[in-house]
Amino acid sequence: MPNLIVISIDALTDEDIRKAGDTPNLNSLIGSGTYIRSVNGIYPSLTHPCHATIITGKTPGVHGVVSNEDYGRHGRPWFNSLSELKCPSVFDYFKRAGLSSAVCRWPVTAGGFDKIDYLIPEITDENFIIDDCLGYYLKSSSPALGPIIRKHIGILSFKSQPQEDLFSTACVCDIIRTFRPDVLFSHPACVDTFKHRKGSDSPEVLEMVKLADRMVGDIIQATKDTGTYEKTVFVVLSDHGHIRVDREIALNEIFRRDGMEGKLTADECGHSAQIYLEGITEEDALAYLKEKAKDSSCGIERVFGSQELKQHYGTSGNFSIMVESDDHTQFSNETYCAIERKITVDDHHGCSTHGHMPEKDPKPVFIASGPGIAHRLIEEDSMLREAPTFLKIMKTEAPSYMEEPLDIFC
């Protein structure tokens, strides 16, 4: 039986790997395995919905993680608990097959102790952690990982990158050395953080790509140290690309000025927004929004009704409509403000973002290398096929409702 290590380098694209130049570990995995240059993801292309799709093989309408934050709950907490998934994930199937699993900071896995043996969850509760970082991690992670967390907590100063990823990777390496889990999922996010802050083409981002490559190298080294390298399949993938923005449009302020406040409420997803309706039919709301889309100062490129969303993207929720921005606009939820705000590098909401339609470039990638994996270059494939691929690598039967695995096998 092979081992499986999945590393999701948030927001990594083919262009990043080519531009960074110095990525020996990624290049070696690509050189020996299968590389899918362009992965068609889901809508909206946000981190938590994408990661939920990667581990379930299903679209947001099925797994229920329709955005990063839950609009329907007080305080708008992030979707982050494994129990929030409305369908099984690969961890259900691994558990059933008797395989041990470890997860480090993978979105939407918090609290999943009944399915994941060694768990350090993604942290989305910022207020709680600032005063007691160690206490928070100990409380939210598997008890067996206490010594590893204590050993590396010094690396971490909260909400700063790349320290979070360095902490996470140090923990991952020790989890491999100490527990040798059959499968391990990890999620370094420094590339995404710096893309938001500085823009995809900035030198800072390329430094982060090189750093993420070194993290991959550290994890590979940990398998060599434990003697599991030869039997490990390494997967490096990502969740979405990024598109630069130069302005932010306050959709709810447009609605307010048009006397539509309360009838339409926008919940921003970066390059798109989900529109909740009250006291107005979807038909009337669509007609109003399509009229707005004719005015380029509103930043709306396309308007999707609920039927179209479900049909094209498998996306559905308590919202009725989604609007897609033109390529240089991100949306905000604010009201009683200017409708348009100019954005430059280091803007507090970032100068580059995602959430856009998954067919827009640049797209995420998928790399796999190890025993049983072919040496192949594939231009394009689907994120929905990643979960059944993980199950096939681990010789675990995939449920019939999943898509076919990716064509990466010898």
Closest CA to 50 of 302, 315, 259, 394: 315
Q: Binding of Zn ion at residue 239 (CB under 5 A)?
A: yes
Q: Report the relative pairing of strands 247-250 and 340-342 from DSSP bridges.
A: antiparallel
Q: What is the DSSP string of 224-260?
A: HHHT-GGGEEEEEE-S---EE-SEEEEHHHHHHHTT-
Nearest-approach distance from CB 273 to Zn ion, in angstroms: 16
**Smallest distance, Zn ion to C-beta of residue 47, A:** 3
165 lies in the site for Zn ion, by CB under 5 A = no
Question: Counting contacts by CB under 5 A, is residue 69 touching Zn ion?
Answer: no
Which one, 10 or 381, has the nearer CB to Zn ion? 10
CB 43 within 8 A of CB 322: yes
Query: CA 112 to CA 82: how far, in whole Å?
Result: 5
> What is the rounded CA–CA span in Å between residue 179 and residue 165?
20
**Rule CB under 5 A: is residue 10 a binding residue for Zn ion?**
yes
> Two tokens at 190?
């420094």
Give the number of C-alpha atoms closer than 13 A to the C-alpha of residue 219, restricted to the C-beta side: 35
* Of residues 36 and 50, the one with the C-beta less far from Zn ion: 50
* Smallest separation (angstroms) from Zn ion to the CB of 363: 13
Q: How far is CA 195 from CA 54, 121, 182, in A?
A: 21, 23, 33
Interface with Zn ion includes 192 (CB under 5 A)?
yes
Binders of Zn ion among 28-47, rule CB under 5 A? 47
**Closer by beta carbon to Zn ion, 164 or else 239:** 239
The reply to whether 122 sits near Zn ion by the rule CB under 5 A is: no
Residue, CB closest to Zn ion: 47
Number of residues that bind Zn ion (CB under 5 A): 4
> What is the smallest separation between the CB atom of 308 and Zn ion, expressed in angstroms?
25
Closest Cα to residue 94, out of 112, 79, 81? 112
7-15, 70-78, 144-152, 363-371 -> range binding Zn ion (CB under 5 A): 7-15
CB of residue 67 vs Zn ion: minimum separation in angstroms? 13
Smallest separation (angstroms) from Zn ion to the CB of 109? 15
Binding site for Zn ion (CB under 5 A): 10, 47, 192, 239
